[in-house]
Structure 1
Amino acid sequence: MSARPWRGQLVQAQRSGWLTRPQVASESLLAGTCLYFVAICNVGFWQAAVHDGASPGLLASLCVAIFALHAFLFGFVAIGRALRPVLATLIVVTAIATFYMRHYAVLFDVEMILNVLHTDPAESRELLSPWLVLHVLLQAGPPLLVLAWVRVRPRPLRQAIAARAVFLGAMALLATIAVLLSSQGMFALMRSDHALRYRITPGNLVVSTVRALTEAPEPPPGQRLPIAADAARVSRPPGEKPRLLVLVVGETVRAQNWGLNGYARQTTPQLAQRDIVNFSDVQACGTSTEVSLPCMFSLQGRAHYDKAAIRAHESLLDVVARSGVDVRWRDNQSGCKGVCDGTGIEHTQASDAPALCEGDRCLDDILLTGLRERIDATPGDLMIVLHQLGNHGPNYFERYPAAYETFKPACHTAELSRCTPAQIANAYDNAIGYTDAFLARALDLVQQQQGHDAALLYVSDHGESLGEYGLYLHGAPYAIAPSQQLHVPMIAWVSSGLAADMDLDMRCLRARSGAPLSHDNLFHSVLGVFGVRTKAYAPDLDLFAPCRRTVALE
């Protein structure tokens, strides 16, 4: 059959006007896109503003201000041939962001953007799902079709520059008027809810990404500024065994669900039967691995937190290694975030223990593979850091073998919104149960070796939200983070030989296990374990120091 009649009908339809692509000015297309952002992509922001008591007049001013500020900001980059690509990219990225903001209450501040930029492929794949694709198609599809359908009216260069300048001036004036009309209410609203500004999309993405990308680059390991340059180990009596510290850095375990802390469920049954000290009041340096890991191994800590200074200086591991201790970092996660750059890292590989791995992910027991041999092969003082995958979400159900699914039914999807709160908690608690068993096996291994006086210390890097206050996962800005993301578990075991060498009263340590502690104690406690003397050492931050029968290190 000939296609000519159809062509004729198409030409006739185009002549009649109903198939004619409308022609608009670039500023109109930009303004329409920004209206779409305000009306469709900021539902979470408007809900939060209403919840915070914003009046109708304040909401109207916010609407105008957010529209004008977005149009002004994007007006500098959505120019000429870049207009459609820039707007299309913003539409798609915004749709992706709103999915995670809606389903996990994620806030895209600088730290969250850094988490996204530094995530590994395995983590990224876990966060992809058919529901994300469906959400993006439904939210971004219609505006993308409009963007592709309309034609941009061509203009001479001078006229285009003049029109854009007028547009930018008008948007700046409009934003200024809107802010001035309700400035008192706006500033009061932002002060009362610090997270509100991070809900304004896509402005939150653009501003946070620019700030993240313009941060000073992390210096190479050899160019980090030294700390505790005077560090040296205290001489010990001849014949004394070398010391071993196995430091387990947990992932995303919160103190609230830690069985040893009095949780309604016994999520730590094996540790409950061990001769360990459980520290019940420990505060994390941050709410994400990107922040907490460098912070907890730094001299600054949270008390003197300075991100740039932490990145520019050596870590605890450098100080310990320089004092003569063999330092090893074993990783089953996304790296050490610069902490071990000066001492090296051993990444787990599926080939090391295929039965423990599926795809790019391995169960934490792989960290124990070859560990006994590593300890036996080291005649001197040794510090081994085991960096767990732990309870990294949202795929809690993939963090433990099926045999550890004690609490049922458990959530078996990364789409937490499809599970009940009880199912999410079941999967999360099952993952803690596996960490409990992993720590018990690590402790057995340490206790069985004969060549060292040993200690094992475990602390999680940050906690996790499981729906409290509408929040999921972690990474909330520290100033407004809930206790679920900041309160973490910590335990210690010290052999009788090491306790004697340190002149440590274990009964005293148990009696003080409820004292307030934080990640800031880690730096000085590790120096204390190895008897490292330095002016940087602070006895009041060494969790073992108050229970030494002799005077602490100076």
Structure 2
Amino acid sequence: MNATVARTLRLPAMAWLQSRPQLSTEALIALASLFFAIAGNGLFWNSAMATHPGSLRYALSLLLLLLGTHAFLLGLLVWRWNAKVVVSVLLMLTMLASHYMGRYHIYLDADMLRNVLATDRRESSELLTASLAAPLLLGLVPTLAVWRLQLTDRRWTAALSWRAGFLLLAAGVAVGGALLSFQEISALMRSQREVRYLATPANVLLGLPRALRGDNPVQRAPKLPIGLDAQAMHHASGSRPRLLLVVLGETARAQNWGLNVGARQTTPELAQKPVINFPDMHSCGTSTEVSVPCMFSPWGRGDYDEKKIRAHQSLLHVLDHAGIGVLWRDNQSGCKGVCEGLPVQSLADATTPGLCANGRCLDEILLQDLAAQARAKPGDRVIVLHQLGNHGPAYFQRYPPRFRRFTPTCDTVELGRCTREQIANSYDNALLYTDHVLAQAIGTLQGMEDYDTAMIYVSDHGESLGEKGLFLHGIPYAIAPEEQTHVPMTMWFSPSFARNRGLDLECVRQRAGRYTDHDALFSSVLGLMQVRTALYAP
């Protein structure tokens, strides 16, 4: 009797497991769009509803707008032959994107997507934490359900007719949603246009094609030459060659830079040296992918043309055309195209004891054999040191234990588990270490008496540490907070460099107090190295 009952109970369960529910591709798209709108857009809902909290009509309007927009986009992309693969990828991608967007309050525009594509193994590994379990599970459950479906097969004429009708319906739903609360929606688009970068996966579907254009990690084209007319002025007889060290900082912000008279002294070693500080320096972008190509370009932010910048050679190529030896030493994720075809040393994979561990090296690795590398080629040299610097969220891993002076610290990449004070302390300890590295670099240059030496330090962009609910960087430039665009810049010149180049250092100090930005770097370096070219802006 018990066996008979067990078999009777088991039959429905087995039948359910063996069943293959049948669904049209359009119905699958509609269900996926509804899932995206409800489960994958937490930050979008929080940001959009903040303007009209408690308004059910406004919430319904946003829901219809999200649902219709995603259904229309998926209606163009998803067909029966690729439906399961594309929808599955989008389900997992949406859950992961929603997780990181909510945790760090980031916006997925084309520049941020380009950053994601350029992220190397070391950077991505720092973001793989236990907190990913929940979004992965939330994406896995509907993905498994998708693969159990049996999609309706139609003749191609019927399929096209159904799809045309579906696209019209999806567009109608989106337009109807906008019209339902037209005044509120239009006000949102005027005052918070950036909210569109929070609608997931629409932000990925629309931003990815732009992120993949031109110079990017997936598709690269040869750089168009610039500055072929460049010529270095002849030195006086018996004069020494010049060595300019350009230290490219990472994620350092001006508000925490000790030389800018911040709340605490994060640059005690530089404060004891005859450096010239620029307290009102501003970046070209809010990410390395944007700022580095821009700051080494003759066009810059003032005449910004992303396609033009990425398609052409950089300042380093102009120096090379003039016969000045260049070298890029990297402890980060590459030069973003500005050193293409030029000498490069990647030190991020070094194994030097005391400086390197677990696939990462501290920035002092950039100073090893620096003098020997400079002397390896005769004549004037420009060497770029690309720091790991303050790259987040693992600020606590950017400095050795002896620089843990500001406490308590945030010793995890899960910034949500730390207080603002702990995050700022870890960040400032990393700045203390950068101060030390720069002071050591100056010491190395001072010891090279066979060269006239100089150093420029400038960060590529800043960082948000919780202000306005934002963390990390990469906010679209038009709405970026000052914490992500106001960066430190400091210069040092040996007495012989200043004298032989004819620099009026008192004039430089006076100029340092005024506004400047990354656009000044291109011609400043050419001027310091006395390179003549039509690209030089006096």
Q: TM-score range by the shorter chain?
A: over 0.9
Contact between 2:113 and 2:208, CA under 8 Å: does it hold in 1? Answer: yes
Q: How far is 1:178 from its partner?
A: 2.9
Question: Match of 2:509, SS?
Answer: helix
In the aligned structure 1, how far is the partner of 2:412 from the partner of 2:139? 24
Per-residue deviation, residues 490-509 of structure 1 (Å, max 9, x unmatched): 10111111111122222222
Per-residue deviation, residues 112-143 of structure 1 (Å, max 9, x unmatched): 11111111111111111111123321x32443
After the TM superposition, which of the residue ranges 228-237 and 54-63 deviates more from structure 2? 54-63
In the aligned structure 1, how far is the partner of 2:216 from the partner of 2:24? 40
Percent identical: 47
Aligned 1:123-134 pairs, distance under 5 A? 123-134=123-134
Aligned 1:30-429 pairs, distance under 5 A? 30-53=29-52, 56-137=56-137, 139-153=138-152, 155=154, 158-215=157-214, 223-348=222-347, 350-351=349-350, 353-429=352-428
After the TM superposition, which of the residue ranges 108-117 and 5-14 deviates more from structure 2? 5-14
In the aligned structure 1, how far is the partner of 2:19 from the partner of 2:223? 62
The answer for the alignment partner of 2:442 in structure 1 is: 443
The answer for the alignment partner of 1:477 in structure 2 is: 476
Q: How far is 1:350 from its partner?
A: 4.4
In the aligned structure 1, how far is the partner of 2:438 from the partner of 2:451? 19
Contact between 2:246 and 2:382, CA under 8 Å: does it hold in 1? Answer: yes
Q: How far is 1:375 from its partner?
A: 2.5
Q: How far is 1:10 from its partner?
A: 2.2
Per-residue deviation, residues 326-361 of structure 1 (Å, max 9, x unmatched): 111100111000101132211115446233111221
Per-residue deviation, residues 516-537 of structure 1 (Å, max 9, x unmatched): 1111111111111111122221
| TM, length-normalised to structure 2 | 0.94
Q: How far is 1:214 from its partner?
A: 4.2
After the TM superposition, which of the residue ranges 385-394 and 44-53 deviates more from structure 2? 44-53
Contact between 1:218 and 1:312, CA under 8 Å: does it hold in 2? Answer: no
Question: Match of 1:334, SS?
Answer: coil
Contact between 1:101 and 1:107, CA under 8 Å: does it hold in 2? Answer: yes
Q: How far is 1:48 from its partner?
A: 1.0
In the aligned structure 2, how far is the partner of 1:143 from the partner of 1:220? 33
In the aligned structure 1, how far is the partner of 2:438 from the partner of 2:321? 28
In the aligned structure 1, how far is the partner of 2:219 from the partner of 2:185? 43
* Cα distance change of structure 1 residues 4 and 261 upon mapping to structure 2, 3 Å threshold: farther
Q: How far is 1:422 from its partner?
A: 0.7
Q: How far is 1:441 from its partner?
A: 0.6
The answer for the alignment partner of 1:552 in structure 2 is: none
Contact between 2:107 and 2:197, CA under 8 Å: does it hold in 1? Answer: yes
In the aligned structure 1, how far is the partner of 2:388 from the partner of 2:213? 30
| TM, length-normalised to structure 1 | 0.91
* Cα distance change of structure 1 residues 448 and 128 upon mapping to structure 2, 3 Å threshold: same
In the aligned structure 2, how far is the partner of 1:195 from the partner of 1:329? 35
- For structure 1, the 5+ residue unaligned runs are 540-554
In the aligned structure 2, how far is the partner of 1:295 from the partner of 1:12? 64
Question: Match of 2:96, SS?
Answer: helix
Question: Match of 2:244, SS?
Answer: strand
> Does residue 524 of structure 1 match 2:523?
yes
Q: How far is 1:420 from its partner?
A: 0.8
In the aligned structure 1, how far is the partner of 2:148 from the partner of 2:233? 75
In the aligned structure 2, how far is the partner of 1:388 from the partner of 1:431? 12
Q: How far is 1:159 from its partner?
A: 4.3
Q: How far is 1:285 from its partner?
A: 0.6
- For structure 2, the 5+ residue unaligned runs are none
In the aligned structure 2, how far is the partner of 1:220 from the partner of 1:419? 39
Contact between 2:114 and 2:216, CA under 8 Å: does it hold in 1? Answer: no
Question: Match of 2:411, SS?
Answer: coil
In the aligned structure 1, how far is the partner of 2:172 from the partner of 2:348? 58
Query: What letter is aligned with 2:108?
Result: F
Query: What letter is aligned with 2:119?
Result: T
Q: How far is 1:144 from its partner?
A: 3.0
* Cα distance change of structure 1 residues 451 and 14 upon mapping to structure 2, 3 Å threshold: closer
